């Protein structure tokens, strides 16, 4: 039989979470953000569940090709825009909308020969300081774009750095509203945290388009302040495997490379077919939560390339072949949220989703 590790993609949960995003901003259109191969889920695996979105947003031209090959004829937005002039040829051919965030991209458009003008989103750097024109340069960038026959409609966007934290978005929102005050065009502001926490109460941030990302994949954008149950989100990915060995330890015995865990008394441990070569974080130390046959327990010692150890004390009857849930949906309706595993490992659910290795079989599930 093949090695027992699998990643399950829950299509009904994807549909549910997208509906939650729409409900959070009922007057806005919704981008389904599928960058990074749909946050590690696979574009082809999420496509049917996300067909109810108004458009897809991503970074990679090859991923845009995959969406068009799936017969998506609606909007596709390149969130980082074009990377070189010839990318505009593919934008014309595939009818891709694209972000403009620096002067060179305007230069490329000015030199681009096309019969169909492009839809662009002009990005303002309102304080995130990654991409976008400064408030001082924003208006001149708009003037240049507006004068180009290669450009049809100009929309506006920015990205909030602290929508999930105490600083909030007001300083960036004020900057955006001032920069775009008298300009005609659609707006896109809200990421997952903004949509869930603010869009329902503040029409200024709801705007015309919302860009929910991590929430649609079953992770709470403001964890641990709120978890997925609070936001009525469902896990969309389960990483599961099995016990492939059981060991009986005596007090003083150690586990794994570096002997980082020492048993204080006799105990049973299980060895799971999952390691950092599968995408499980090597830096997840003893105590990271895990489910064995739906029962909550913990990892022990250092994660190896292909295996990790778990404490079987709460599951005394567990034997080889027992189901192990690394994150996601376990047996009998149990759930181990990816956010909880990520926090124990000192990282984010985003990273765990995107890090699942190509050698792990990915299967669609209910």
Residues annotated as catalytic are: 35, 257
3-class DSSP state for residue 242?
A: strand
What phi-psi label fits residue 254: left (phi over 0), alpha (psi between -120 and 50 degrees) or beta? beta
Strands (E), 218-314: 237-249, 254-255, 261-262, 267-272, 289-292, 295-300, 308-311
Q: What are the residues facing 311 on neighbouring strands?
A: 269
Distances (CA, A) of 364 to 7, 43, 304: 9, 12, 27
Do 161 and 125 meet the contact criterion of CB atoms below 8 Å apart?
Answer: no
Q: What are the residues facing 9 on neighbouring strands?
A: 237, 364
Cα 350 from chain centre: 5
Do 49 and 38 meet the contact criterion of CB atoms below 8 Å apart?
Answer: no
Do 124 and 181 meet the contact criterion of CB atoms below 8 Å apart?
Answer: no
Nearest partner of 211 among 43, 80, 16, 21, judged by Cα: 21
Tokens found for residue 151: 């450009």
* Neighbour-count burial of 49, counting CB atoms closer than 10 A to its CB (0-12 exposed, 13-18 middle, 19+ buried): buried
């Amino acid at each position: 039989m093949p090695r027992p590790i699998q990643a399950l993609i829950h299509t009904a949960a994807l549909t549910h979470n997208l509906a939650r995003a729409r409900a959070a901003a009922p007057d806005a259109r919704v981008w389904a953000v599928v960058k990074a191969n749909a946050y590690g889920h696979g574009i082809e695996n999420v496509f049917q569940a996300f067909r109810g979105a108004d458009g897809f947003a991503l970074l990679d031209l090859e991923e845009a090709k995959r969406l068009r090959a799936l017969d998506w004829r609606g909007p596709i937005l390149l969130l980082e825009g074009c990377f070189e002039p010839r990318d505009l040829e593919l934008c014309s051919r595939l009818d891709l909308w694209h972000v403009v965030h620096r002067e060179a991209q305007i230069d490329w458009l000015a030199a681009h020969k096309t019969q169909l003008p492009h839809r662009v989103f002009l990005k303002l750097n309102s304080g995130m300081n990654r991409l976008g024109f400064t408030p001082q340069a924003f208006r001149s960038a708009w003037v240049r774009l507006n004068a180009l026959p290669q450009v049809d409609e100009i929309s506006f966007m920015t990205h909030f750095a602290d929508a999930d934290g105490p600083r909030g978005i007001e300083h960036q929102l004020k900057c955006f509203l001032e920069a775009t005050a008298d300009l005609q065009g659609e707006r896109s502001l809200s990421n997952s945290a903004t949509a869930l926490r603010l869009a329902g109460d503040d029409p200024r941030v709801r705007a015309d388009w919302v860009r929910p990302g991590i929430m649609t994949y079953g992770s709470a954008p403001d964890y641990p302040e709120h978890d997925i149950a609070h936001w009525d989100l469902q896990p969309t990915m389960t990483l599961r495997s099995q016990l492939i060995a059981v060991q009986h330890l005596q007090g003083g015995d150690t586990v794994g490379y570096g002997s980082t865990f020492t048993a204080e008394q006799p105990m049973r441990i299980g060895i799971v077919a999952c390691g950092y070569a599968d995408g499980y974080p090597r830096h997840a130390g003893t105590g990271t939560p895990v489910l064995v046959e739906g029962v909550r327990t913990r990892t022990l010692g250092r994660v190896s390339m292909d295996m990790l150890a778990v404490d079987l004390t709460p599951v005394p009857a567990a034997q080889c072949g027992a189901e192990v849930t690394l994150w996601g949906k376990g047996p009998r309706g149990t759930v181990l949220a990816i956010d909880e595993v990520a926090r124990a490992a000192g990282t984010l659910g985003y990273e765990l989703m995107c890090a699942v290795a190509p050698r792990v079989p990915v299967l669609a599930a209910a």
